[in-house]
């Protein structure tokens, strides 16, 4: 052990160092503190990545990129407070690294040809046809359960309360519009809670649903094999679409409607809250290559994704789904995992 959490001045950095470090009463070789959590070189590298790289992650309209990176080849060149510069010197001395502003590969911030075409009403049809042919078909069978939540429903014991919303409430979700009703569900109850933005004051009801017959779903949650660069990748285009905010809804709705026209009963898609649920970092790379394209990282990247299910029409009314059980949910405990980071304005 060569440093401890008390060697740092920035409070977020100090807190994260304490979370990562070894708790003991040994004297720190650097500052002589006995109360700080102790850090060796491996933990210092982990701390630097957590605070400076993950903690500086910047969300674009499509995609993410860290603002700061570090390596052993560059000297520190960051506009930061004297306090933070002093903390950086700890890493510079121990790890022989420098911190610098990261210039991302442009695909990480939305420069992806299929994604650009999907946003163009004239050009998107060909890409959607490609999506329908590339992604796997999955069957949702009668022996499987899925869950749908309602917040403060008028008649919680009535099965149809858990069907797709009536006309006046359509058009606010990711895949539905006024002429295209969707029943949203998931196999992950915690993601259902996130998706519904529940509060401690809500009356929460959960319907357990099961198909009456096999349902044919297009699975957009799976990583697909492609012999293409990240700039040409349909896989990354879909991934970025479903991680994006409301400005992506129009494009996703067009994919959804075309999928229904192709004879599917619904879509499996990545939850917007996947990374919060799994604690994953978006767009991990190895030597600038997306880990989603590297076979040795494929399973790890796939496990970052939580599946949501969108079923077309009114599947309960149409008797494609049965309501197996209705329960209340009482929130009893909420925990958060977090990354701290520096205050850096990428546009300064």
278-324 pLDDT, tens digit per residue, is 888 888 888 888 999 999 999 999 999 999 999 999 999 999 999 99
How far does Cα 144 stand from its chain's mean position? 25
- Average pLDDT over the chain reads 94
- Predicted local distance difference test score (pLDDT) of residue 276: 84
21-57 pLDDT, tens digit per residue, is 999 999 999 999 999 999 999 999 999 999 999 999 9
**Domain residue limits, the chain:** 3-103, 109-329
Please choose, from the candidates 273, 266, 269, the residue with its C-alpha nearest in 3D space to the C-alpha of residue 190. Answer: 273
| Spatial separation of the C-alpha atoms in residues 237 and 259, rounded to whole Å | 17
pTM listed for this prediction: 0.90
CB atoms within 10 A of CB 156: 17
Question: Based on the number of CB atoms within 10 Å of its own CB, is 33 exposed (0-12), middle (13-18) or buried (19 or more)?
Answer: middle
- Predicted local distance difference test score (pLDDT) of residue 315: 98
pLDDT band at 239 (very low <50, low <70, confident <90, very high): very high
pLDDT band at 346 (very low <50, low <70, confident <90, very high): low
Sign of the torsion formed by the C-alpha atoms of 310, 316, 320 and 325: positive
Mean pLDDT of 79-106: 93
- Predicted local distance difference test score (pLDDT) of residue 266: 98
Q: What are phi and psi of 104, to 5 degrees?
A: -70, 155
Check pLDDT > 80 for residue 173. yes
Buried b (16+ CB within 10 A) or exposed e, 270-299: bbbbbbeeeeebbbebeeeebbbbeeebee
178-223 pLDDT, tens digit per residue, is 999 999 999 999 999 989 999 999 999 999 999 999 999 999 999 9
pLDDT band at 275 (very low <50, low <70, confident <90, very high): confident
pLDDT band at 249 (very low <50, low <70, confident <90, very high): very high
- Predicted local distance difference test score (pLDDT) of residue 15: 97
Mean pLDDT of 242-257: 96
- Predicted local distance difference test score (pLDDT) of residue 330: 95
Q: What are phi and psi of 148, to 5 degrees?
A: -135, 130
| Spatial separation of the C-alpha atoms in residues 232 and 111, rounded to whole Å | 9
pLDDT band at 12 (very low <50, low <70, confident <90, very high): very high
Check pLDDT > 70 for residue 347. no
Q: Is 20 or 103 the better-scoring residue by pLDDT?
A: 20
- C-alpha distances out from residue 178 to 164, 170, 173, 288, Å: 12, 5, 10, 42
Check pLDDT > 70 for residue 348. no
- Looking at residue 230, the DSSP 8-state letter turns out to be T
113-157 pLDDT, tens digit per residue, is 999 999 999 999 999 999 999 999 999 999 999 999 999 999 999
């Amino acid at each position: 052990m060569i440093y401890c959490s008390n060697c740092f001045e920035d409070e977020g950095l100090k807190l994260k160092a304490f979370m990562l470090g070894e708790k003991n009463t040994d004297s720190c070789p650097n500052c002589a503190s006995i109360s700080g959590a102790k850090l060796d070189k491996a933990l210092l590298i982990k701390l630097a990545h957590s605070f400076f790289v993950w903690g500086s992650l910047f969300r674009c309209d499509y995609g993410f990129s860290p603002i700061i990176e570090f390596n052993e080849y560059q000297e520190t060149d960051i506009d930061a407070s004297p306090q933070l510069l002093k903390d950086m010197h700890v890493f510079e001395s121990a790890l022989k690294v420098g911190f610098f502003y990261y210039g991302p590969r442009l695909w990480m911030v939305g420069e992806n040809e299929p994604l650009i075409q999907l946003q163009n009403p004239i050009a998107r049809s060909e890409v959607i046809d490609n999506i329908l042919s590339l992604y796997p078909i999955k069957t949702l069978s009668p022996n499987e359960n899925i869950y749908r939540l309602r917040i403060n429903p008028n008649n919680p014991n009535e099965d149809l309360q858990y069907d797709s919303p009536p006309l006046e409430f359509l058009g606010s979700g990711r895949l539905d519009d006024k002429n295209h009703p969707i029943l949203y569900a998931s196999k992950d109850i915690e993601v259902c809670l996130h998706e519904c933005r529940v509060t401690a004051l809500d009356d929460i009801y959960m319907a357990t649903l099961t198909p009456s017959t096999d349902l044919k779903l297009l699975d957009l949650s799976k990583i697909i094999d492609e012999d293409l660069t990240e700039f040409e990748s349909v896989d990354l285009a879909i991934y970025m679409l479903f991680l994006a905010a409301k400005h992506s809804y129009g494009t996703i709705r067009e994919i959804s409607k075309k999928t229904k026209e192709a004879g599917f009963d619904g879509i499996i898609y990545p939850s917007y809250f996947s990374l919060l649920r799994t604690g994953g970092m978006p767009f991990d790379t190895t030597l600038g290559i997306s880990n989603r394209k590297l076979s040795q990282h494929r399973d790890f990247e796939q496990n970052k994704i939580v599946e949501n299910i969108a079923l077309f029409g009114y599947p309960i009314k149409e008797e494609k789904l049965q309501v197996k059980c209705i329960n209340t949910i009482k929130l009893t405990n909420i925990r958060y995992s977090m990354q701290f980071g520096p205050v850096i304005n990428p546009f300064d």
